[in-house]
Amino acid sequence: MKYSVILLALALFSLTSCHEDFYQISTVYGENTDSQQQFENEDIVLKYNFWEDGGILSFTITNKTDKPIFIDWSHSNFIFNGYSYDYYSNETKISTLGVYSGKSINGVYDSEHHSGTSIKTSTITRERSNAQIPPNSYVQAKVVNMDFPKLKMKSEITFEKSTTLLNIRSYLAYSKTKDMDELIYIDNEFWIESVEVLSRRNELPSKNKFYTKGEKFSVIETSIMLGLYATGFVLLIIAASL
């Protein structure tokens, strides 16, 4: 009898795992790129892509010319909310905690996302100090995980550049000569202009968007959970007294 009661209590507890996934879809606006998140000058084409859980900074560099192009990673940076990180570094991970906690987003920022042991560090790949891109070919720049937090929101939120939760800059240095005597700089800037909530991730991968996955319980589910917890607690007390 005692073991039957315990098993029943455990079964009730297992039912509390029911939940509904939801997705927060963030749209990124490119300050000096086209609608396809692409930048182009007479030498190179940069194609950006942010689509990933929590967002990524990812881009390819294409050499349009008939001569080699040389990327100087030691003089290139990626910048989140004013925090500048070197592409060429001995660091293999960065902490995104300061990037988001430094913004005034009280009431919107889900502090549990970056609290205690749940603090996340974004993995980055090491770059060589420079890279050669042959004529009419391209390379993939390092991919940086942005680890954008889950927000406390029920409907769509829109932002201006001055109020956005995340401002991103890709500061790239390159040269047309191997000795890097004359560097050319490209400064591409992006910022989140809106975040909307969807009950399911029905958005197709889009270069100018990314998603943040979360979980929620309905009012009915929450009531059922509380009832099951109370029932299970009572049953465990009964089992302990047998």
Residue 33: predicted pLDDT: 94
pLDDT band at 2 (very low <50, low <70, confident <90, very high): low
- CA 34/CA 205 separation, integer angstroms: 17
pLDDT over 70 (residue 138): yes
Residue length of the chain:
242
DSSP one-letter code for 179: T
What's the average model confidence in pLDDT over 75-89?
86
Find out whether 174 and 131 touch, Cβ atoms under 8 Å.
Answer: no
pLDDT at 115 over 50: no
Beta pairing, strands 56-63 & 138-140: antiparallel
Share of the chain above pLDDT 90, in %: 42
pLDDT for the residue numbered 220 = 47
d(CA 141, CA 47): 10
Residue 158 pLDDT:
93
User: Which pLDDT value is given to residue 221?
Assistant: 47
The percentage of the chain sitting over the pLDDT mark of 70, rounded to a whole number, equals 62
Residue 217 has pLDDT above 50, yes or no: no
> Which H or E run includes 26?
strand 20-30
- Average the pLDDT over 61-88 and give the result: 92
DSSP 151: B
Q: Which of 36-40, 70-74, 84-88, 114-118 is least confident?
A: 114-118
Per domain, the residue ranges of the chain are 1-19+218-242, 21-216
pLDDT per residue as tens digits for the range 141-198 = 888 888 888 888 878 999 999 989 899 999 999 999 999 989 999 999 999 999 998 8
Both structure tokens of 198: 């969807």
For residue 23, the model assigns a pLDDT of 85
Comparing 130 with 46, the larger pLDDT belongs to 46
Least confident residue range of 11-20, 78-87, 162-171: 11-20
Q: Do 73 and 87 touch, CB atoms closer than 8 A?
A: yes
- Tokens representing 48 are 């950006």
